[in-house]
Copies of this chain bind each other. A is one copy, B any other.
């Protein structure tokens, strides 16, 4: 031991001694079981005097579950995920749970490590925004630990998921550009292995086909990151017959795409741009850009609600909640 007044950790036994009752009675008072009014008064007085705080570790050991949930996300620096985290935290703390935020940097190995920790820590449940494709979620399911996938659904029966209607979002993003008079609307999306990236492309295709302007020559797969968006846009602009607008499937790539546009001497709305997800703190750059608002915080809230339900014992079949994106993307001021 290092410090001086370290301990000061009052135990239930000390409270019991002070109140002149047994530890069992103290526990009953603290947990709302039947106790005589007199005992309760004594215990509460003693607890207050000693500033007793129950040791959660001991409680957890006995009860065999914790009041902590893990939130595993691929990128803590992406505002979409921090907003999502905030949603989770709001709901979780309202329900008496703490949230441990785990950042995987899109690395399946780190994701796997965190899943292992969640198991070893006996955390109550896990909310997972899957990093790669093959998420190592089997272990959680095998041990019967509640899991909710968020943002992307896991191709795994029995796991709840909360997503947005990416296809509809992609379609309305593209439609809004066509409606504004653009004719060659490109699409920059995420990795082809990622569900959200594919669905957003599909929405774009639907709008494109309706307006009959060619095939996939204006489609680019990138990596959901700034540099990827920049490269993809540069590539599109170098085409013999370049696009005059683009749907960009996430906020980070849009930042890169704007870079590339600027380098080519273009800016919205001269070049039409519709983006999935907002870039907070950048209102001054949103001019002329159509933003499909993603309900990031609501995603987190819905996922947390679902998870807390499972933890509370909800045994029903797996559900997938799909939230609506903003169907009428408008230019921001």
Contacts and interface: CB of A to CB of B under 8 A. Distances in A.
Interface of A: 2-9, 53-58, 60-61, 66, 68, 76-77, 79, 82-83, 85-86, 89, 98-101, 103, 116-117, 119-122, 142-144, 226, 251-252, 255, 258-259, 262, 279-285, 310, 313-315
B77 A122 contact: no
24 contacts: A2-B315, A5-B144, A8-B142, A8-B144, A9-B122, A53-B119, A54-B120, A56-B122, A57-B57, A57-B60, A57-B61, A58-B61, A61-B61, A68-B100, A76-B85, A77-B82, A86-B103, A98-B100, A98-B121, A99-B101, A101-B101, A226-B281, A226-B283, A255-B281
A313 B3 CA distance: 8
B55 A120 contact: yes
B121 A56 contact: yes
A97 to B, nearest CB: 11
Nearest to A5: B144
B76 A66 contact: no
Contacts of A144: 2-8
Contacts of A5: 142-144
Contact of A279 (B4, B82, B262, B282): B282
Contact of A284 (B2, B100, B259, B315): B259
Given A282-B281, A285-B282, A57 B53 contact: no
Nearest to A76: B82
Nearest to A70: B98
- Max chain B Cβ within 10 angstroms of own Cβ: one of A5, A6, A76, A252: A76
A282 B310 contact: no
Contact of A82 (B82, B98, B310): B82
A77 to B, nearest CB: 5
A252 B226 contact: no
Contacts of A120: 53-56
Contacts of A279: 281-282
A6 to B, nearest CB: 4
A117 B310 CA distance: 24
B57 A121 contact: yes
A100 B103 contact: no
Given A122-B55, A255-B284, A117 B98 contact: yes
A183 B206 CA distance: 56
Contacts of A66: 57
Nearest to A139: B51
